[in-house]
Amino acid sequence: MKLELRSQVTSTSVSEDFLGADWPDSLDLGPATVLTGVDQGKYPHGNSLLVQGTHHNVLIDPSLTVAERGLSFAVDHVLLSHVHEDHLPGLSRLSDVPVHCHEADAIGLASLDGLMAMYGMPADADSEFRQEVLNDFYYAPRPDVSTFSDTTVFDLGGVEIEVVHTPGHTRGHCVFVIPQARTAYLGDIDLSGFGPYYFDEWSSLGEFERSIERCRSLDADHFVTFHHKWVISGRENFLAMLEDFADVIVRRELSMLDFLKQPRLVAECAAHRFVYRPHVEMKFVDHVELRSAQIHLGRMVEDGRVELMANGKFRSI
């Protein structure tokens, strides 16, 4: 489906002087410009993408860096790869600009309760994180959000943005391909050594794996991540990094199978930490480790690699 975005006037191109002053680390990819976040997008910051056509300027994932620096150029529309706290802060600077996300993630913009439901945190962590989302990420509901679906194409005037639905991190996570820039914006398929993040209520390990497979066929030369890796140029480099990213899941399950040579409870698997290193101390670590243990144990019981014993413990077969 091809959509022509609405605007009252034709946008002017963004001056390189403006980008140079506000975004000294920006990267020009033709009709797409990477607005490099603090520390190349290290959380809580991220790397936003400005896409310019003859009729519209579109900003993808307005980061915390956007919120803090502001914008000295016009933005006609905002596209979101998905609805998570760190991809929204710049909306605080763009309250009158139309915003678009995949239909499956729209609940997160409708209300704070909707966003928190996507995470599914335990009550104590939920209460604390709500305040962080409001105070540190400037969250404000956008019930006026417009939605799109897989294969939607946005026409900016001589430049197009193609939607590739890649669920797993969230139900509505999407990759955006800009053919005229030979660029794919990967959102939180971030190719980090940490690996895929699929531990929220609205996440899915199986869908994330299928989305990784879909990404192998992306037709681009430049690949932009919101966090960590920034810009990967060269398809072979991208495919190698994508393979390493996917292998984190494989290595995690192999480590769990080795650990389960002795029967273990779910709580023991969570305490062993197959996701975070022992020194990491953040309020949500225990919750993530428990979710990870439940997800992987459930899958490995189902496919016959692990058995659930009568005493409630699990062991590898």
pLDDT for res 10? 44
Global pTM exceeds 0.85: yes
What Cα–Cα distance (Å) separates residue 213 from each residue in 75, 150, 223, 226?
A: 33, 16, 15, 19
Nearest-CA neighbor of 52 among 75, 71, 24, 36?
A: 75
Give the chain's end-to-end CA distance (angstroms, integer). 48
In order along its 317 residues, the chain shows pLDDT tens digits of: 566 675 534 445 555 545 556 898 999 999 999 999 999 999 999 999 999 999 999 999 999 999 999 998 899 999 999 999 999 999 999 999 999 999 999 999 999 999 999 999 999 889 999 999 999 999 999 999 999 999 999 999 999 999 999 999 999 999 999 999 999 999 999 999 999 999 999 999 999 999 999 999 999 999 999 998 999 999 999 999 999 999 999 999 999 999 999 999 999 999 999 999 999 988 889 999 999 999 999 999 999 999 999 999 999 99
Determine what percent of the chain falls in helix, strand and coil, rounding each to the nearest 5.
35, 20, 45
Helix axes 123-136, 112-119, angle to 10 degrees: 130
User: What is the Cα–Cα distance from 79 to 102, expressed in whole angstroms?
Assistant: 9
Q: Going by C-beta distance under 8 Å and a sequence separation of 6 or more, which residues neighbour residue 274?
A: 252, 255, 256, 259, 289, 292, 293, 296
Phi-psi region at 187: left, alpha or beta (left = phi > 0; alpha = psi -120 to 50): left
pLDDT for res 110? 98
Domains of the chain: residue spans and CATH = 2-247 (3.60.15.10), 260-316 (1.10.10)
User: What is the Cα–Cα distance from 299 to 283, expressed in whole angstroms?
Assistant: 26
DSSP state letter for 254: H
pLDDT for res 283? 80
User: What is the Cα–Cα distance from 219 to 217, expressed in whole angstroms?
Assistant: 6
Q: Going by C-beta distance under 8 Å and a sequence separation of 6 or more, which residues neighbour residue 213?
A: none
User: What is the Cα–Cα distance from 300 to 164, expressed in whole angstroms?
Assistant: 29
pLDDT for res 282? 82
DSSP strand pairing (153-155 vs 2-4)? parallel
> Would you say the C-alpha torsion 84, 134, 119, 152 has a positive or negative sign?
negative
Contact 106, 143 (CB under 8 A): no
Contact 273, 289 (CB under 8 A): yes
Locate tokens 């989302």: which residue? 133
> Would you say the C-alpha torsion 117, 119, 124, 130 has a positive or negative sign?
negative
What Cα–Cα distance (Å) separates residue 8 from each residue in 11, 27, 56, 97?
A: 9, 29, 10, 12
**Phi, psi (5° rounding) for residue 147?**
-115, 155
